[in-house]
Amino acid sequence: METASGEYRFTRLEKIIFGPGKIAALRGELERRGLKRALIITGKTLGSSRLLDKVRAAAGDRIAGVFSGIRQHAPSGTVNAALAEARRVDADSLIGFGGGSPIDAAKAVAMAIMRGEDRIAIGAIDTHARMGAGAALGRELIQIAIPTTLSAAEYTPFGGVTDEQTRVKGGVGDPRLQPRTIILDPELTVETPGWLWACTGIRALDHAVEASYAPRHQPYTDTLAARAIELLTAHLLPSMQTQGSDELGHRVLCQTASWFSIAGAGNGLGLSHAMGHQIGARWDVPHGMTSCITLPHVMRFMAEIAPQRFGPIALGFGLRFDESNARLAALECAERAAKFIASLPVKTRLSQFDISREELKQIAAPVLGEINHAGTIDRPITEADLMGLLDKAY
């Protein structure tokens, strides 16, 4: 039996506002902080949608502009363009509206302005590192996040950005990059494509699972992870099969699950996330879809390394966890995850994308660098380990 030990660092998140119609709270959140020149950062589809009109109307006259050029995986060129727009309109705050990419892009823009930089500086991703709160050469911009998917990027003070020259995913991180207010309004998610809603739900599942079997897991995050798994397995599919108030009810519970799922990110996540970062950046596979492909295989792998940590995962899936036969229970969790993913409108193999098996080795170095640097698995991961997993995922 493991002895509980560790620490939990809370972020600078101040408020989560959730429920149908809660976008109406946006103006009040800007007013109470004296913010008058917010820049909305979003993607092309939302940038031309009626949902953007709802956000703008809710903010009133406190919007300085909209940047709608962020693409999937936050390519560095689009993020640098957003930075230039923030400087042009003299933004005093940023509103990340959409999925993980625009919300992460807002963090990267805030980091560059805080550092007094003209370009985004992309570093290595390490969610457990003690992010330095160094001297700010520029202004610290308050961020508000309005997510329309279940990726959970809004709950962390680090964000991913893809270097367009190398096609390698890196990121930024600093406690001051945490959005201060998050507005979870299920009415803003109903136009999210079903496949995107479903696969980002699996991304949230991935957060909960990988935080649970991380070496730095702890009781607080284990409890939230189990509840996140329970909520997702109960409400993700119905959230796409119902209408009206029932649909909104299921969707806000999925948003709640996403919130709970990310609490353990500071424990460090694992191989599924590290593989997803680089699969997405290299071959433009949506991040949520990478979790649909990699998670069951990584769970089976981790069942051999740390089966004793699958208790919260089993609890979330409603499975009995026998500590005397933890490996068998852990493998059952992996099978339950695979079955759940198969019930959704998502892809489950790398071969379903324009990727050849011979190309898989291209991501070995960045994945191994990320995972071994972060120390989120109990032993070093070898190239043979990784290639075995990628082969299974193919």
pLDDT, tens digit, 9 for 90 and up, residues 309-319: 999 999 999 99
The pLDDT of 206-219, averaged and rounded, is 95
User: What is the model's pLDDT at position 1?
Assistant: 67
In tens, the pLDDT along 380-392 reads: 999 999 999 999 9
Which structure tokens are listed for 145?
Answer: 């996040």
Separation between Cα atoms, residue 394 and residue 391, nearest integer Å: 5
Residue 132 pLDDT > 80, yes or no?
A: no
Residue 79 pLDDT > 60, yes or no?
A: yes
User: What is the model's pLDDT at position 125?
Assistant: 54
User: What is the model's pLDDT at position 136?
Assistant: 65
Task: Provide the pLDDT confidence category of residue 281 given band limits of 50, 70 and 90.
Answer: confident
Task: Provide the pLDDT confidence category of residue 377 given band limits of 50, 70 and 90.
Answer: very high
Nearest to 311 by CA among 325, 293, 301, 298: 325
End-to-end Cα separation, the chain, in angstroms: 36
Separation between Cα atoms, residue 181 and residue 13, nearest integer Å: 6
Which structure tokens are listed for 159?
Answer: 């964000």
Residue 77 pLDDT > 70, yes or no?
A: yes
User: What is the model's pLDDT at position 130?
Assistant: 44
Instruction: Give this prediction's pTM.
Output: 0.93
Residue 236 pLDDT > 70, yes or no?
A: yes
The pLDDT of 71-80, averaged and rounded, is 91
Task: Provide the pLDDT confidence category of residue 326 given band limits of 50, 70 and 90.
Answer: very high
Separation between Cα atoms, residue 130 and residue 371, nearest integer Å: 16
User: What is the model's pLDDT at position 49?
Assistant: 94
Strand boundaries in the chain, DSSP class E: 15-18, 38-43, 63-70, 93-98, 142-147, 158-163, 168-173, 181-184
Cβ-Cβ contacts under 8 Å for 365 (sequence gap 6 or more): none
Residue 134 pLDDT > 60, yes or no?
A: no
In tens, the pLDDT along 173-184 reads: 999 999 999 999
User: What is the model's pLDDT at position 314?
Assistant: 98
Task: Provide the pLDDT confidence category of residue 137 given band limits of 50, 70 and 90.
Answer: confident
Question: 194-212 and 219-235 are packed helices; what angle lies between their axes, rounded to 10 degrees?
Answer: 150
User: What is the model's pLDDT at position 267?
Assistant: 84
User: What is the model's pLDDT at position 165?
Assistant: 85
Beta carbons of 76 and 88 less than 8 angstroms apart:
no
Mean pLDDT score of the chain? 93
User: Residue 376: helix, strand or coil by DSSP?
Assistant: coil
Residues of the chain with pLDDT > 70, as a percent, come to 96
Which structure tokens are listed for 253?
Answer: 């519970």
Separation between Cα atoms, residue 158 and residue 218, nearest integer Å: 21
Task: Provide the pLDDT confidence category of residue 170 given band limits of 50, 70 and 90.
Answer: confident
75 vs 23, residue with greater confidence:
23
Task: Provide the pLDDT confidence category of residue 135 given band limits of 50, 70 and 90.
Answer: low
User: What is the model's pLDDT at position 19?
Assistant: 98
Nearest to 370 by CA among 79, 123, 205: 123
Beta carbons of 295 and 337 less than 8 angstroms apart:
yes
Task: Tell me which of 32-41, 82-91, 118-127, 237-246 is least confident.
Answer: 118-127
In tens, the pLDDT along 340-359 reads: 999 999 999 999 999 999 99
